[in-house]
């Protein structure tokens, strides 16, 4: 008798016993799950934008928070910052290939939230009314 299938796929990697992989993934999810990061990524889907253009497009974000968000996204390799040597200097922000890969799920999440906002607001109101005591 001869074995027909000797190619066995390797089992998926097991989580690290010290959960260090969970902490690493948590830090990435914290960045991409942050509301300002989601808005910035959504605004950059259509191409590069200047800082003030982003600030105008994202209602409610402060200059400091936009700066911190863009720095974090740049640090994580999701956004590039390009400075043009003009007077005054022009700075553009654009999604990297990695950022564009994230853009589709972020866009889908944003569209889902927009579509279901009335249902979520209704559920919140119902919950608050039941627990207002």
Q: By CB neighbour count within 10 A (0-12 exposed, 13-18 middle, 19+ buried), where does 78 fall?
A: buried
The C-alpha angle 89, 32, 107, rounded to 5 degrees, equals 90
Structural domains of the chain ordered from first start? 24-130 (1.10.10.10)
Q: Tens-digit pLDDT profile for the chain (133 aa)? A: 555 655 656 666 666 666 667 777 887 777 777 889 999 999 999 999 999 999 999 999 999 999 999 999 999 999 999 999 998 888 999 999 999 999 989 888 888 988 999 999 999 999 999 998 7
Residue 67 CB neighbour total at 10 angstroms: 13
């Amino acid at each position: 008798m001869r074995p027909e299938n000797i190619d066995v796929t390797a089992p998926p990697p097991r989580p690290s016993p010290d959960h260090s992989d969970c902490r690493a993934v948590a830090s990435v999810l914290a960045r991409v799950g942050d509301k300002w990061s989601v808005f910035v990524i959504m605004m950059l889907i259509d191409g590069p934008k200047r800082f003030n253009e982003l600030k105008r497009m994202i209602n409610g974000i402060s200059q400091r928070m936009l700066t911190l968000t863009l720095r974090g996204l740049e640090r994580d390799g999701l956004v590039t910052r390009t400075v043009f040597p003009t007077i005054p200097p022009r700075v553009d922000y654009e999604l990297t290939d990695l950022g564009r890969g994230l853009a589709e799920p972020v866009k889908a999440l944003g569209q889902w939230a927009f579509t279901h906002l009335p249902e979520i607001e209704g559920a919140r109101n119902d919950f608050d009314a039941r627990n207002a005591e």
